[in-house]
Chain A
């Protein structure tokens, strides 16, 4: 048994950067966006590592990373990511700043997945982050699944355990710190990953060099994203206003701290 695992992944600005929203001639954006260092979206990174781990357990499996992001930035990010896991790349040259409507993003991703040569729907597992670190709406993957006709969908997944006969046991996060454990008969299915259980793989330079042989041609073939409007008109984009002034007080007793918190909650 083998799988065709498609991982949807965008880019996100490096989390250490301060992001300042600005209005550009083509709509809202991030100040100095082109200059900001980028990383593979952290949620999607987990999905990629889980995909690579699963593929190792089932020889003959394929891992295909589908990414809508600025081509030049994707090339930079691939230099690192290519050292961590073996995968093929399908690139769509488009924005990755969080201002694209999720329905438009889903349309681009689903079209790209549809166009993957030799993709076997009976072996198809579509992975992605349960939300992005940019827009963060947690709605894109479900629409990708709908467009591909996949109705076995799981979000906030921390564990995917292969079972005998092709089934999977899936652990999802629910609100209130709960977990829901489901059994799914098998592919095709869609998984929106939370953090999973795997650490970040160590860099393997040899794997990176091997990957880049196929990744560079794939980057050159990146097609530009189609219209991404999605019917949204942005009226304002701003950093949130500070809700409470912070004061520094030394040697306050726990009871006094508790009383102040209680007063704040009641107000």
Chain B
């Protein structure tokens, strides 16, 4: 399975712990391309390269230093379209991505869900819903 992992850098150019956890998850799922968004992404790209990932694409601009729906959505959409053959897009549940990625999913015609607790290589996921109900579902 082709997987696109979308990450954004923090204000200091590093990756949040949540991003590294998402990286670990993505590596178990298939052939990973990392899409990086931020003001200056080279340091983060160097770190990711240590995991053995060879395909890294990025959207880098001073406008992406701040978290903002309009610019973040445009950057993430561009990365999704660039990695056009990915069938699964994985991202950490940071405030920035939680605000933006559902809108991006709509733009590219993808399904979206959040609060996942595990994901299988088949694409089936476990998620935790409000009211503490665990749900397993598989997007067709």
Query: Measuring CB to CB, which residues of chain A are less than 8 angstroms from any residue of chain B?
Result: 12-13, 19, 21, 28, 98-99, 101-103, 106, 131-143, 145-147, 151-156, 172-175, 180, 182, 192, 230-240
Our pick among B68, B73, B95, B128 for the contact of A240 (Cβ within 8 Å) is B128
A28 near B135 (CB under 8 angstroms)?
yes
Our pick among A145, A230, A237 for the contact of B103 (Cβ within 8 Å) is A145
Our pick among B18, B102, B107, B130 for the contact of A139 (Cβ within 8 Å) is B102
Contacts of A153 in B (CB 8 A): 69, 99, 103
Contacts of A146 in B (CB 8 A): 103, 106-107
Q: How many pairs, one residue from A and one from B, have CB atoms within 8 Å of each other in the complex?
A: 132
8 A-B residue pairs with Cβ-Cβ distance under 8 Å, sorted by A, are A137-B113, A137-B127, A139-B101, A232-B140, A234-B137, A237-B134, A239-B133, A240-B128
Our pick among B68, B107, B135 for the contact of A234 (Cβ within 8 Å) is B135
- Report if B136 contacts A (CB, 8 A): yes
* Chain A residue at smallest Cβ distance from B112: A139
Decide if the interface of chain A is mainly helix, strand, loop or mixed: mixed
Query: Would you list which residues of chain B between 92 and 140 have a CB under 8 Å from chain A?
Result: 94-96, 98-103, 105-107, 111-115, 124, 127-140
Taking the closest CB of chain B, its distance from the CB of A164, in whole angstroms, is: 22
A237 near B112 (CB under 8 angstroms)?
no
Taking the closest CB of chain B, its distance from the CB of A226, in whole angstroms, is: 17
B106 near A106 (CB under 8 angstroms)?
yes
Taking the closest CB of chain A, its distance from the CB of B109, in whole angstroms, is: 10
